[in-house]
Structure 1
Amino acid sequence: MKSVNDNRNRVESKRDELKSLIARFTNGKEIFDTIIPGVSVFCISSPNKPACLIYEPCLCMAAQGAKLITLAGESYVYDADNYLIASVNLPTMAQVIRASKENPYYGFKLKLDPREIAQVMIESGFNISQPNSLHRGIALGEVNFPILDAVCRLVSLLDYPQDIQVLAPMIKKEIIYRLLSGPQGSRLMHLSMAGSPASRMAKAITWIMENFESKIKIENLAGIANMSTSAFHKHFRKMTAMSPLQYQKILRLQEARKMMLSDSADVATAAYRVGYESATQFNREYKRLFGDSPRREVMKQLRAV
């Protein structure tokens, strides 16, 4: 019992350290993309509305507060006790659900590079046999002391910018090692293995993201993934919780929404630019995803700002 309590106390102390670091470095900013490559920290002082967000391969943690990620109707909440890991690019809705001025949401994000994951696997002697099955491209894991300790040391490098070039890659490798050693490690292993179903699916997903405004043919995507069309459909849905066409549709609608909010594009222009030929279809699918017509929904967002 004593060892369990001691471990809890160590975790709590290290979590408090991470909260202090994030509070200091965000310095009133909600989002701070640090000078450490791939590392961002966040400070949000109140719950916010759901927002479109592409989750790229990354590790996300909350030193305080909680965030809800929704993927095709599936919900994932990460908080001080649970981290979130994404292994492929996924179109989601993200929302901070627990935060206040007294106790803000303090978040940490580290982008994950499949090449770096593969290197750690080789150096650490992990079993690199080809997997027979795919996992969902997003999952939760329990935060433990070794991961928290490494994350704190990584963020602390912001106090010593002259050391970042040498020490940051070493600490990132340690974090990747801890993730690979944990219960969600197989997701990262599969992604980093050339020729694995996960890495082949990632190539197809990347193609969709880069060409979402174009018409897609499933047989062409299956060819990119070197799979039959039936196997491709099955693996794609298992990894992303949606079909390829649903994935493309969400990307189109999110990009159109961004154009209308950030670039002041009108509804017809935004719809055309992302590949819609029918304004009626665009309006219908936009309302289904965002809960209102494009014009009304965008006006609500602009008034809120």
Structure 2
Amino acid sequence: MEKIDDLAALIARHAPVDGAIETAIDGLGLLRSSAATEPVHTLYEPSCCIVAQGRKRAVVGGRAYQYDPSNYLVVGLDLPVIGAVIEASAQKPYLSVRLPLNREALAEMLMHDPTKSVRGEERASHAIAVEAATPHLIDAAARLLHLLDAPDDVLALAPLIEREILYRLLRGPQADMLRQIAYRTGRISRIQKAVAFIREHFTEEFAIDDLAAVADMSVSTFHAQFKEATHMSPLRFRAQIRLQEARRLMLVEGLGAAEAGFRVGYGSPSQFSREYGRLFSAPPRRDAVKRKALAFA
């Protein structure tokens, strides 16, 4: 427990107020919450998140993942996620650290890995998982945060510790996922190409055949692999991206529901309202009013 307590103390000191904090170390983020939160719809990028205190739930395509102290969440794709802190208090806030997964660094490390294999190409793989963090991984994360107190050392030492963290992850249960991220021919890497296409063209109409071609897979293989990785179909994935952006347009830019729906690609206001209500548990206008009220509460 000493190592995790050290990590919690470092996060608490460098994230003294609630919210997401970007640090002086490129890509390294901290999160603090002094209370449980309502579910938040967001997009998780490929990363590793280690929890030092409290508990959080991430829901992807209807499947829930809970992670708490000494566990880490690893995400291999850009995924629309419903996240909520479910255990936190002013006395014991939720505290976590997030580090992006560097594909180039993973690939370079695997070039010199005598234990490397191609197992990740042989079967489907989820692109999100929760695993138990080893003392070595927690220790490396704590040493990385210690560099925030020595800014002159960050440029030279942070990349070394980040590579150590990746090394620890490659020695863990999700090594196959990480190999697939590293190799451009890996299944998850190819699914990520389709995800990038969806994110860039989500307002447009396109066929599954188009996405399969981007991923360089047959249509049947692509559909099965995409659903295995993301827990949702490609069209449902696109719908979540559309609806999250529509919500942002209403809350941040002040657009009306009809205009927001049209802007993200819905030709039918009724279809937009139905799908929005299924995802956010309220029709667009009512949800926007509630969110704005909560923001100013």
CA positional deviation for 1:125: 3.0
* Aligned partner letter, 1:67: K
Q: Which residue of 2 aligns with 1:76?
A: 65
SS of the residue corresponding to residue 169 of structure 1 reads helix
Moved over 4 A (4+): none
Report whether the alignment pairs 1:86 with 2:69.
Answer: no
Q: Which residue of 1 aligns with 2:251?
A: 261
Distance 1:120 1:37 in 2: 20
TM-score, reference length from structure 2: 0.96
**Percent identical:** 38
CA positional deviation for 1:234: 0.8
Distance 2:75 2:207 in 1: 26
TM-score, reference length from structure 1: 0.94
Given candidates 136, 140, 161, the residue that maps to 2:126 is 136
Distance 1:211 1:160 in 2: 43
Q: Which residue of 2 aligns with 1:125?
A: 114
CA positional deviation for 1:29: 4.0
CA positional deviation for 1:19: 1.0
CA contact (8 A) 1:287 1:294 kept: yes
- When structure 1 is superposed on structure 2, of 130-139 and 104-113 the one drifting more is 130-139
- When structure 1 is superposed on structure 2, of 128-137 and 225-234 the one drifting more is 128-137
Structure 1: which 5+ residue stretches go unaligned?
Answer: 1-11
Given candidates 207, 222, 225, the residue that maps to 2:197 is 207
CA positional deviation for 1:248: 0.2
* Aligned partner letter, 2:25: I
CA positional deviation for 1:185: 1.4
CA positional deviation for 1:221: 0.8
Distance 1:262 1:128 in 2: 46
Q: Which residue of 1 aligns with 2:187?
A: 197
Q: Structure 2 matches for 1:9-88, cutoff 5 A? A: 12-88=1-77
Report whether the alignment pairs 1:106 with 2:95.
Answer: yes
RMSD of equivalent CA atoms:
1.1
- When structure 1 is superposed on structure 2, of 261-270 and 148-157 the one drifting more is 261-270
Q: Structure 2 matches for 1:156-175, cutoff 5 A? A: 156-175=146-165
Distance 1:235 1:27 in 2: 42
Report whether the alignment pairs 1:181 with 2:171.
Answer: yes
SS of the residue corresponding to residue 125 of structure 1 reads coil
Report whether the alignment pairs 1:152 with 2:145.
Answer: no
CA positional deviation for 1:126: 3.6
CA contact (8 A) 1:30 1:43 kept: yes
CA contact (8 A) 1:128 1:193 kept: no
CA positional deviation for 1:209: 1.1
* Aligned partner letter, 2:33: I
Given candidates 216, 240, 253, the residue that maps to 2:230 is 240
* Aligned partner letter, 2:221: A
CA contact (8 A) 1:260 1:298 kept: yes
Provide the aligned length of Structure 1 versus Structure 2.
Answer: 294
CA contact (8 A) 2:70 2:138 kept: no
Distance 2:202 2:219 in 1: 19
CA positional deviation for 1:28: 1.7
Instruction: Provide Cα deviations, 1:150-197, integer angstroms capped at 9, x if missing partner.
Output: 000111111111111111111010000000101111111112112122
CA contact (8 A) 1:56 1:90 kept: yes
Q: Which residue of 2 aligns with 1:249?
A: 239
Distance 1:48 1:190 in 2: 33
Given candidates 284, 287, 294, the residue that maps to 1:294 is 284
Instruction: Provide Cα deviations, 1:50-105, integer angstroms capped at 9, x if missing partner.
Output: 00111111001110000100011101001103211001111110000000001100
CA positional deviation for 1:35: 1.3
Structure 2: which 5+ residue stretches go unaligned?
Answer: none
Distance 1:59 1:46 in 2: 23
Q: Structure 2 matches for 1:275-294, cutoff 5 A? A: 275-294=265-284
Instruction: Provide Cα deviations, 1:217-240, integer angstroms capped at 9, x if missing partner.
Output: 111111111111111111111111
